[in-house]
Amino acid sequence: MAALNEEQNMLKDAATSWVRGRAPVTELRKLRDSGSTLGYDPALYAEMAEMGWTGIIIPEEYDGVGFGYRGLGVILEELGKTLTASPLISSSLASVCALTLGGSSLQKETWLPKISDGSVIATVAVDESHRHAPLKTALSATPTGNSWTLNGIKMPVPEGMGANFLIVSARTSGKPGDRDGITLFLVKATTDGLTRTPMHQIDSRYPAKFIFDQVSVEGDAILGDVDEGADLLEQILDRACAGTAAEMLGTASQALETTLEYLKIREQFGQIIGSFQALQHRAVAMFGEIELTRTAVEAALDALDDNSDDIPQLVSLAKIMACETLKLVSNEMVQMHGGIGMTDEHDAGLYLKRARVVAASYGNAAYHRERYAQINGF
Amino acid sequence: MSEEQDQNYPEIREAVQRLCADFPGPYWQKHDRDRSYPIEFVNALTEAGFLSVLIPEEYGGSGLGLRAASAILEEIHRAGCNGGACHAQMYTMGTLLRHGSKEQKERYLPKITTGEIRLQAFGVTEPTSGTDTSRISTFARREGDNYIVKGQKIWISRAEHSDLMVLLVRTTKRQDVKKPTDGMSVLLVDMNDAIGNGLTIQPIRTMLNHATTELFFDDLKVPVENLIGTEGNGFRYIIDGMNAERTLIAAECIGDGRFFVDRATKYASERSVFGQPIAKNQGIQFPIARAYIQISAAAEMVNKAARLFDEDQKMGSEANMAKMLASEASWFAADMCLQTHGGFGFAEEYDIERKFRETRLYQVAPISTNLILSHVATHVLGMPKSF
């Protein structure tokens, strides 16, 4: 692991102890069994906000702490370890970036302090089907005087059930698939004509399906420039993706950790199963993959903090690695636990289910491979 | 080992094993070092009649079929030998047998049976066409009683060790036919006449001892009587030969895989490190077991493909699948065996590194893995062609 600075170390210590004390995997079970369709526990999120995590990448002038992407990555990794559900990525990472990179002074002043103190939750609504394809945006926005009318569907929208406002990608010209003609809008969740329904997911989250039926917004709802939102959108998604990869890294390392603990106590044929080479070697192989993924995730987060020009490549690389590694480790977690790993009582199944969902979040490995190949001119 | 119980042709297998015992590791090591043709081995196989099992009895062969041929090649490879020098003598004649005239068959097949004539070169691939066979450009223009051939072929194995070659040429240009596969024809080229009279052979050195070459045709005359079947239908004539070839190559991979498993099992059981045979380690014995399992599964598919061929049923997909499974299983086994032997695996005298190089070929030749996946995707599963 590359060295952390003093602030990042502090964040890591705080996150480690908070996650262990306040958000163990049992919290996810409680959330699942509660019947709530919010998809996260607001009380836990309020605690995160109190600790300042919701404002990690928000500049100080907007009441954040400005600790950067690496700092947020440290926290997301810890949250990933216990599968903690929260709007931290969609609100405090993706939406914050949308505002800091593309927002007007007024938009920033209005929303950033509220996201920072946790009183407002935002999310970025891009996908319109189960396939992540940002440029395929079809939801239409047509101008009428000084306002715009939005019609279409957004789904699945992460943490959409708790969001107070959405950053929506809409098509203002051209056809789905075109790079030109995408515009981003800020839309309050309570706007007339906008309805949302929860989508039940295997990882106990509830993304929302939003239907836009003649939703009218004023011209000042536009984020960035009309028809030229694709670049901004990609920058937002890159940041969300890097954070997601950091969370996946945490999930994978805990899945291995839990498995290793089991290998050291479970006995078969009179010996601890961890003494079998066949299992030892596979555990070592997983460790190797996790370390490699860590390097890729750190490189992506550092590139974001340095604003270097290879951000897209490094982010896609990190997401690919995180997807492959977490898939491997979550599969092996079940396999190495044997029968007990198949039960609901054991956490292995929760890791497996979360691994599958988060792999598809902000583009799966296949999407990012294709993107990586295109960026590099393969 | 248990697979012996259900192996077919036990007598043939035993006879091949006895023959191969006369060609131990040092024999192959020497030819490998010199990149020379293992003529003694080829002659022994010919004399024993092993290369004519696919030729019907009326032409002097034993007419046993593809399962027998597979058993022969599998045993050759299992013994550490390599059939690559002559396996094409078995099946290249298939094009002649199935599509040649009575006169052509009577003239050539009996001599192919005895080995007097070697027909083990199959001229299809060209530098610019690769597997996209309809794009070949070697052209045969009719002039009186002759075809005049101009063009180039590559990866033509055993061209220097063949008396006859089955050559695929265009007799009508691709742009002038309805279907891209129309307009190709098959010629039987008499190599002894051709060399120096319009045909130049250039050997290509490779990472294994495999006599492959590049051919240059500069107005080579081939008598019209050497045309197989009718002009323009040649593509169809070579296709069924390819299915036999793929199945037999797959059988060689099975043999290679068994060679690697045999050697690894023996070495791991005898070699002692940290006071115990290394085979006692799961890290050693499990990969050997996995290789054995993969080879056993692939062998079933090879068997199925050969049986369907012998029963005259459609088997193109099975031949392809058998080749892919067998070549991947043998490659896994090769890698496993080299790893099991540690440093010794790299020593020539163990034959592991040689077989390792040899078996790697079969994921590429005679058809690459990707093309097999594409075949199955489009022709078996009905998905759109990807290229």
Burial class (CB in 10 A: 0-12, 13-18, 19+), A92: buried
Per DSSP bridges, beta strands A222-223 and A182-188 are: antiparallel
Strands (E), chain B: 119-123, 139-143, 146-157, 164-170, 184-190, 199-204, 212-223, 227-228, 272-273, 276-277
Contacts of A104 (CB under 8 A, 6+ apart): A220
Contacts of B85 (CB under 8 A, 6+ apart): B37, B38, B41, B42, B158, B161, B211
Q: Looking at residue B289, what DSSP letter applies?
A: H
Is the CB of residue A30 less than 8 Å away from at least one CB of chain B?
A: no
Is the CB of residue B346 less than 8 Å away from at least one CB of chain A?
A: no
**Is-same-fold flag (B119-234; B236-380)?**
no
Domain with CATH 1.20.140.10 in chain A: 231-375
Contacts of B349 (CB under 8 A, 6+ apart): B25, B26, B29
> Which residues share a beta bridge with B165?
B121, B189
Domain with CATH 2.40.110.10 in chain A: 124-228
Is the CB of residue B283 less than 8 Å away from at least one CB of chain A?
A: yes
Q: Which CATH architecture has domain A6-120?
A: Orthogonal Bundle (1.10)
Q: Does 3.40.190.100 match the CATH number of domain B119-234?
A: no
CB pairs under 8 A between A and B: 9
What is the pLDDT, as a whole number, of residue B1?
44
Q: Which CATH architecture has domain A124-228?
A: Beta Barrel (2.40)
Are A281 and B281 a contacting pair at CB < 8 A? Answer: no
Give the C-alpha separation, B52 to A126, whole Å: 67
> Which residue in A268, A277, A279 has the most chain B C-beta atoms within 10 A of its own C-beta, making it the best mutation to test that interface?
A277
Query: Residue A372 has which token pair?
Result: 């990586």
**What are the structural domain ranges in chain B?**
2-114, 119-234, 236-380
What is the pLDDT, as a whole number, of residue B2?
46
> B277 CA to chain A: closest CA distance, Å?
15
Classify domain B236-380 at the CATH topology level: Butyryl-CoA Dehydrogenase, subunit A; domain 3 (1.20.140)
> B289 CA to chain A: closest CA distance, Å?
12
Contacts of B150 (CB under 8 A, 6+ apart): B138, B139, B141, B217, B218, B219, B220
Is the CB of residue B273 less than 8 Å away from at least one CB of chain A?
A: no
Is the CB of residue A278 less than 8 Å away from at least one CB of chain B?
A: yes
> A364 CA to chain B: closest CA distance, Å?
22
Q: A277 contacts in B (CB within 8 Å)? A: 281-283, 286
Q: A276 contacts in B (CB within 8 Å)? A: 282
Is the CB of residue A3 less than 8 Å away from at least one CB of chain B?
A: no
Q: B289 contacts in A (CB within 8 Å)? A: none
| Residue B3 pLDDT grade (very low, low, confident, very high; cuts 50, 70, 90) | low
> Which residue in B274, B278, B282, B286 has the most chain A C-beta atoms within 10 A of its own C-beta, making it the best mutation to test that interface?
B282
| CB atoms closer than 10 angstroms to residue A302 | 17
Is the CB of residue B282 less than 8 Å away from at least one CB of chain A?
A: yes
Q: A278 contacts in B (CB within 8 Å)? A: 282-283, 286
Are A281 and B283 a contacting pair at CB < 8 A? Answer: yes
Which chain B residue shows the shortest CA-CA distance from A281?
A: B283
Give the CATH superfamily of B2-114.
Acyl-CoA dehydrogenase/oxidase, N-terminal domain (1.10.540.10)
Are A276 and B282 a contacting pair at CB < 8 A? Answer: yes
What is the pLDDT, as a whole number, of residue A130?
87
Are B281 and A277 a contacting pair at CB < 8 A? Answer: yes
Q: What would you measure as the largest C-alpha separation in chain B, in angstroms?
A: 79
Q: Which CATH architecture has domain A231-375?
A: Up-down Bundle (1.20)
Is the CB of residue B382 less than 8 Å away from at least one CB of chain A?
A: no
Residue range B336-358: mean pLDDT, rounded: 97
What is the pLDDT, as a whole number, of residue B51?
97
pLDDT in tens, chain A (378 residues): 668 899 899 999 999 999 999 999 999 999 999 999 999 999 999 999 999 999 999 999 999 999 999 999 999 999 999 999 999 999 999 999 999 999 999 999 999 999 999 999 999 999 999 899 999 999 999 999 999 999 999 999 999 999 999 999 999 999 999 999 999 999 999 999 999 999 999 999 999 999 999 999 999 999 999 999 999 999 999 999 999 999 999 999 999 999 999 999 999 999 999 999 999 999 999 999 999 999 999 999 999 999 999 999 999 999 999 999 999 999 999 999 999 999 999 999 999 999 999 999 999 999 999 999 999 999
> Which residues share a beta bridge with A149?
A142, A216
Is the CB of residue B286 less than 8 Å away from at least one CB of chain A?
A: yes
